[in-house]
């Protein structure tokens, strides 16, 4: 029941993202012995408590990551290897007098009703086990830390490279990174925010752009320690969109609020009509940011994995060249897409901030 539930959800998402492929493997859904493409893709798209590297002779080789839980008895942490690669809720880990199981990459308390199974469902098939708050360093958090280290290395090196130059021209790594920084400055910050205030938001926009971009690119590299679908995770995009929302709301001037609640220059009935729409717009803007990045990056991962999975769906090696060709082709497009998505996210953030501090003359 629960697996069916998750399958149907996943299935509906696939229809959303990639109709053709979902139809192709719809037939394989019922048989549990066969290679389950849906499960594989969803497993990849979602977060995980261990970093799976490869399988050797059916044994998973993975990089164990720390599990950090805020439980009823305080903070508990242990290595994810304690679950012994189990994801079906059958291995119990006991810490501080509490028993934990991992089921579909979620950590639950075991139920206390003494039955053989550790997971209980209500009549709708929903799990009723209690959950500790999970602050684990998951695959995505781990990937995010790597991206942070890379970013700091790259840009601190860039900053240092200016001391080697005679007249402030970029040297070394700066020759590569400076055009990107200048692009954000000249094509995003200046036109969207304006010459007067843009410099205040430059650090935010630059951090945002490179943080999204590097995580997008890292997601495209298909081996450890990359390949995590971090920027295609709704939590990640939610936080970035929320930061843009908070900044926009905090720096907004009187004009901005006036244009939302009492649009000047139009008749009163129209003002009353527009106010709720504009008010909703405050929230819809960051939500669209969140969903756009999430959907684009996830879709990219799903398409590439689906194309690779064609080999396993048709169980034919002859399909491999075509499958590889298409997945390489899509990967190349994705290289472009991830840069564009990072750019769009940054540009729209700048646009929203710019519209919030814009000074109208009328």
Partner 1 sequence: MDLVTPDIGLIFWTTVSFAILYFILAKFAWKPILGAVNEREKSIKDALSAAEIAKEEMASLKADNEKILNEAKLQRESLLKEAREIRSRIIADAESEAIEKANKLIESAKTAIENEKSAAMKELNNTVVDLSLNIAEKLLSKELDNKEKQQENIQEILENTKLN
Considering the complex, state which of residue 212 and residue 311 has its C-beta at the smaller distance from partner 1: 212
The three-point CA angle 78-47-156 to 5° equals 85
Structure tokens of 167? 């007249």
Closest among 213, 188, 210 to 199, alpha carbons compared: 188
As measured in angstroms, the least distance from the Cβ of 190 to partner 1 is 12
Q: Which is nearer to partner 1, 93 or 241 (CB)?
A: 241
Nearer to partner 1, 135 or 224 (CB): 135
Residues lying near partner 1 in the complex (CB under 8 A) are found at 6, 9-10, 13, 42, 45-47, 68, 104, 133-138, 140-141, 144-145, 148, 151-152, 155-156, 158-159, 162, 165, 167-169, 174, 178, 181-182, 185, 199, 202-204, 206-207, 211, 233-236, 238-240, 243, 294, 298
Q: C-beta of 73: minimal distance to partner 1 in Å?
A: 18
Residue 263 or 295: which CB sits closer to partner 1? 295
Q: Is the peptide bond before 225 cis (omega within 30 degrees of 0)?
A: yes
71, β-bridge pairs: 74
* Smallest separation (angstroms) from partner 1 to the CB of 306: 15
Backbone angles phi, psi at 91, to 5 degrees: -105, 125
Which tokens sit at 356? 């919030």
Beta-carbon count within 10 A of 284 CB: 11
- Which one, 191 or 255, has the nearer CB to partner 1? 191
The least CB distance from residue 99 to partner 1, in Å, is 20
Q: Which of 96/199 has CB closer to partner 1?
A: 199
How near is the Cβ of 47 to partner 1 at its closest, in Å?
A: 6
Minimum gap (Å) between residue 242 Cβ and partner 1: 8
Q: Measured between alpha carbons, how far is 275 from 264 in angstroms, rounded to an integer?
A: 11
Cβ-based burial of 272 (10 A; exposed 0-12, middle 13-18, buried ≥19) = exposed
Place of tokens 């399988």: 55
Closest C-alpha among 160, 196, 194 to residue 177: 160
């Amino acid at each position: 029941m629960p697996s069916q539930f998750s399958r149907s959800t996943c299935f509906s998402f696939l229809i959303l993202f990639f109709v053709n492929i979902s139809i192709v493997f719809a037939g394989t859904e019922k048989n549990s012995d066969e290679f389950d493409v849906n499960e594989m893709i969803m497993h990849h798209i979602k977060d995980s408590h261990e970093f799976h590297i490869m399988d050797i002779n059916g044994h998973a080789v993975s990089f164990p990551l720390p599990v950090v839980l805020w439980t009823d008895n305080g903070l508990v942490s242990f290595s994810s290897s304690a679950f012994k690669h189990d994801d079906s809720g059958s291995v119990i880990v006991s810490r501080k007098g509490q028993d934990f199981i991992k089921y579909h990459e979620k950590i639950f308390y075991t139920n206390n009703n003494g039955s053989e199974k550790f997971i209980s469902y209500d009549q709708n098939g929903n799990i009723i086990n209690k959950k500790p708050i999970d602050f684990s360093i998951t695959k995505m958090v781990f990937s995010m830390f790597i991206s942070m280290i890379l970013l700091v290395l790259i840009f601190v090196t860039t900053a240092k490279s200016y001391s080697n130059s005679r007249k402030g021209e970029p040297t070394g790594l700066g020759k590569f990174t400076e055009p990107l920084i200048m692009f954000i400055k000249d094509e995003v910050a200046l036109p969207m925010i304006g010459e007067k205030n843009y410099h205040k938001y430059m650090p935010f926009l630059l951090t945002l752009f490179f943080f999204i971009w590097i995580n997008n690119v890292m997601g495209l590299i298909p081996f450890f320690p990359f390949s995590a679908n971090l920027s295609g995770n709704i939590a990640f995009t939610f936080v970035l969109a929320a930061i843009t929302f908070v900044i926009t709301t905090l720096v907004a001037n009187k004009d901005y609020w006036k244009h939302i609640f009492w649009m000047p220059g139009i008749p009163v009935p129209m003002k009353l009509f527009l106010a709720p729409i504009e008010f909703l717009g405050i929230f819809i803007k960051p939500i669209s940011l969140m969903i756009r990045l999430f959907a684009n990056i996830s879709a990219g991962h799903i398409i590439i994995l689906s194309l690779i999975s064609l080999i396993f769906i048709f169980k034919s090696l002859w399909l491999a060249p075509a499958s590889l060709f298409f997945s390489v082709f899509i990967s190349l497009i994705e290289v472009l897409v991830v840069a564009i998505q990072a750019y769009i996210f940054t540009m729209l953030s700048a646009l929203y901030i710019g519209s919030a501090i814009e000074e109208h003359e009328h």
